Amino acid sequence: MSFSPAWLALREPADSAARNQEVLAACAQHFAGRADIKVCDLGAGTGSSLRAFAELLPPTQHWTLVDHDAGNLAAARAALAAWADEATDSSQLVLKHGGKTITVQTTVRDFAQAPVCWPETTDLVTASALFDLASAPWIARFTAALCAQKIPLLATLTANETITAVPSHPLDTKVIAAFHAHQTSDKGFGPSAGAQATAILEQSLKAGGYTLTTGDSPWRLAPSELLRATTEGMAAAVSETKAVAADDLAAWLNHQREKTSQLTIGHRDVFARP
């Protein structure tokens, strides 16, 4: 499954507004007072986790961005250089931003078979909008490895079950149920945990002895390009399930395009430490 840099750029401002401030503060508090930190971001895309989390973390940061999509990681280097106050890009990217000095390495790797893809000395694993793509067994293997190494995790924007459009449409329940069913299709990890991912992740981390700070991080979208792209993406996914007649689905999508004044898409964030 691919996520284009254009789609990731479209969602980044909404992601940034949605992340749960209590969860972010718990992460910042945990690392407060340290001079430096080594972070590994899984499913890094174009680097939005780094842009979102850098301000929470110590003055000197070493990031490893891991993704199987080489195009996204190339876009990440360019986007991070543009975001920084100063940037030099040779074998590793060195950024200055908001008083932080940040070195960045990018690693093209598919971690579906082997979740442990972080460097040995990693202090913090991060991920945004990743775990709902993964399968329940993958999440269990990931958390078992993380907990065995006692590495904290900051995971944001894992999609949950909440999808609410205002005003409602008579087909909402049917369309949303079909969308949730589509969310459990295989995204490369085996059948996806989809909307159950947050519960599975949180339970596994607790079972591994971690202390969690959790919170909701919904998108609350007003009419916008992102709202339109989101409902069109939902309709395309639902159409693949064949659970809703094509005419009905077209009528539902038309209603979303013309009438929806607010679309809420639920997510959950967690900071977990040993």
Residue placing its CB nearer to ligand SAM in the complex, 57 or 249: 57
Residue placing its CB nearer to ligand SAM in the complex, 39 or 44: 44
The minimum distance between CB 144 and ligand SAM, in angstroms, equals 18
Q: What is the DSSP string of 12-59?
A: HHHHHHHS-HHHHHHHHHHHTT-SEEEEEEET-TTTHHHHHHGGGS-S
What would the x/- binding string for ligand SAM be over residues 185 to 214, using CB under 6 A? ---x--------------------------
What would the x/- binding string for ligand SAM be over residues 9 to 28, using CB under 6 A? ------x-------------
- Does 130 interact with ligand SAM (rule: CB under 6 A)? yes
The Cα 89–Cα 137 span in angstroms is 38
Contact in structure between 272 and 156 (CB atoms under 8 Å): no
Find the binder of ligand SAM among 68, 174, 206, 228 (CB under 6 A).
68
Query: What token pair was written down for 61?
Result: 């940061």
Residue placing its CB nearer to ligand SAM in the complex, 58 or 115: 115
Instruction: Give the helix/strand (H/E) hosting 262.
Output: strand 262-273
- Does 72 interact with ligand SAM (rule: CB under 6 A)? yes
The count of chain residues that interact with ligand SAM, using the rule CB under 6 A, is 20
Residue ranges in 35-54 that form contacts with ligand SAM under rule CB under 6 A? 43-45, 48-49
Q: Name the one range near ligand SAM by CB under 6 A: 94-102, 104-112, 146-154, 209-217.
A: 104-112
Residue placing its CB nearer to ligand SAM in the complex, 48 or 213: 48
Contact in structure between 13 and 227 (CB atoms under 8 Å): no
The CB-based long-range contact list for 11-17 (8 Å cut-off, 24+ gap) reads 11/129, 11/226, 12/46, 12/48, 12/51, 14/219, 14/221, 14/226, 15/48, 15/52, 15/128, 15/129, 15/156, 15/157, 15/219, 16/48, 16/51, 16/52
Residue placing its CB nearer to ligand SAM in the complex, 159 or 249: 159
- Does 3 interact with ligand SAM (rule: CB under 6 A)? yes
DSSP alpha helix (H) spans, 35-186: 48-53, 70-83, 136-149, 172-183
- Does 159 interact with ligand SAM (rule: CB under 6 A)? no
What amino acid is encoded at 159 in this protein? Answer: A
**Positions in the binding site for ligand SAM (CB under 6 A):** 3, 8, 15, 43-45, 48-49, 67-69, 72, 110-112, 128-130, 133, 188
